Structure 1
Amino acid sequence: MQFDQVGADALMEITSRPDLVFVRGQGSWLEDHNGKRYLDMIQGWAVNALGHSPKNVVEAMCKQASELMNPSPAFYNAPMMELAKLITQHSCFDRVFFANSGGEANEGAIKLARKWGQLHRQGAYKIITFEHSFHGRTLATMSASGKAGWDTIFAPQVDGFPKAKLNDIDSVRALVDEKTVAIMLEPVQGEGGVIPADPAFMQALRQTCDEFGLLLIVDEVQSGMGRTGKLFAYQHSGVEPDIMTLGKGIGAGVPLAALCAKESVSCFEHGDQGGTYNGNPVVTAAGVAVMQTLTADGFMQSVNERAQQLSEGLLALSAKWGLKGERGQGLLRALILDRDDGPALVEAARNRNPEGMLLNSPRPHLLRFMPALNISKEDLDQALQILDALIAQVRS
Structure 2
Amino acid sequence: MISPVLPSYSRANLSFVKGEGSWLVEADGRRFLDFASGIAVMSLGHGHPTVVGALKDQADALWHTSNLYEVPQQKALAERLVEHTFADTVFFCNSGTEAAELAIKMARKYRTETGTPERMKILTFEGSFHGRSMGAISAAGSEKLTKGFGPLLEGFQSLPFGDHDALREAAAQEDVGAIMIEPIQGEGGIRPVPDQCLKGLRDLCDEHGLLLIFDEIQCGVGRTGKLFAHEWAGITPDIMLVAKGIGGGFPIGALLATEEAAQGMTAGTHGSTYGGNPLGCAVGTAVMDTITEDGFLEAVNAKAGFLRQKLEGLVASHPTIFESVRGQGLILGLKCRVAPTDVVAEGYNHAVLTVPAADDVVRVLPALTISEEEISQGIDRLDATATALEERAA
Q: State the TM-score, normalized to the length of structure 1.
A: 0.95
Is 2:246 the partner of 1:247? no
Secondary structure of 1:24's partner?
Answer: strand
1:147 is the counterpart of 2:146: no
Task: State the match for 1:157 in structure 2.
Answer: 152
Equivalences for residues 210-289 of structure 1 within 5 A = 210-267=206-263, 268-289=265-286
- Aligned counterpart, 1:80: 74
Identity of aligned residues (%): 41
Partner of 1:391: 386
- Runs of 4+ in structure 1 off by over 4 angstroms are none
Cross-structure match for 1:380: 375
Match of 1:319 in 2: 316
Give the corresponding residue for 1:369.
Answer: 364
CA contact (8 A) 2:71 2:278 kept: yes
Where structure 2 has 5 or more consecutive residues not aligned to the other structure, the ranges are none
Asked whether the equivalents of residues 107 and 140 of structure 1 are also in contact (C-alpha less than 8 Å), the reply is: yes
Question: In the TM superposition, what whole-angstrom CA distance separates every residue of 1:313-352 from its partner, at most 9, and x where no partner exists?
Answer: 1111112222322010110001112x22321221111123
SS in 1 for 2:316: helix
Q: Within 1, Cα distance between the matches of 2:113 and 2:72?
A: 32
How many corresponding residue pairs? 386
2:288 aligned residue = 291
User: Aligned-pair distance for 1:364?
Assistant: 6.7
Counterpart code for 1:256:
I
Which ranges of structure 1 fall in alignment gaps of 5 or more residues? 1-5
Classify the secondary structure of the residue corresponding to 1:206.
Answer: helix
2:47 is aligned to: 53
Task: Give 1:146 deviation, angstroms.
Answer: 4.3
Q: Distance in 2 between matches of 1:187 and 1:314?
A: 22
CA RMSD between the two structures:
1.4
1:146–1:189 CA distance, 2 compared to 1 (3 A): farther
2:31 to 28, 32, 37: 37
Supply the distance in 2 between the matched residues of 1:102 and 1:46 (Cα, whole angstroms). 12
Report deviation, 1:20. 2.8
Distance across 1 between alignment mates of 2:215 and 2:128: 10
Q: Which moved more, 1:317-326 or 1:213-222?
A: 317-326
| 1:340-374: CA deviation from partner (whole Å, max 9, x where unpaired) | 2321221111123xxx1111121373211110001
Aligned to 1:331: 330
Alpha-carbon distance in structure 2 between the residues aligned to 1:310 and 1:94: 35
User: Which of 16, 19, 27 is 1:25 aligned to?
Assistant: 19
Distance 1:319 1:36 in 2: 29
* Distance apart, 1:147 and its partner CA: 3.1
CA distance in 1, matches of 2:143, 2:374: 36
Between 1:160-169 and 1:27-36, the stretch displaced more is: 160-169
Alpha carbons 2:182, 2:216 under 8 Å: kept:
yes
Q: Which residue does 1:199 correspond to in 2?
A: 195
- Deviation at 1:26? 0.9
Q: Is the 8 A contact 2:121 2:157 kept in 1?
A: yes
C-alpha separation between the residues in 1 aligned to 2:115 and 2:328? Answer: 35
State the SS of the aligned residue for 2:260.
helix
Whole-angstrom CA distance in 2 between matches of 1:163 and 1:56: 41
Residue in 2 aligned with 1:3?
none
Instruction: Summarize deviations over 1:364-395 as a string: whole Å, max 9, x none.
Output: 73211110001011110001111111111111
Residues 362-371 or 46-55, more deviating: 362-371
Q: Distance in 2 between matches of 1:121 and 1:304?
A: 45
Name the SS of the counterpart of 2:124 in structure 1.
Answer: strand
149-158 or 173-182, which deviates more = 149-158
In 2, Cα distance between equivalents of 1:364 and 1:168: 17
Q: Match for residue 344 of structure 1?
A: 342
Distance 1:159 1:364 in 2: 27
Amino acid at match of 2:307: L
After TM superposition, list the pairs within 5 Å mapping 1:3-22 onto structure 2: 9-22=3-16
Q: Per the alignment, in what secondary structure is the counterpart of residue 266 of structure 1? A: coil
**Aligned amino acid, residue 145 of structure 2:** W
CA distance, structure 2, for counterparts of residue 69 and residue 149 of structure 1: 38
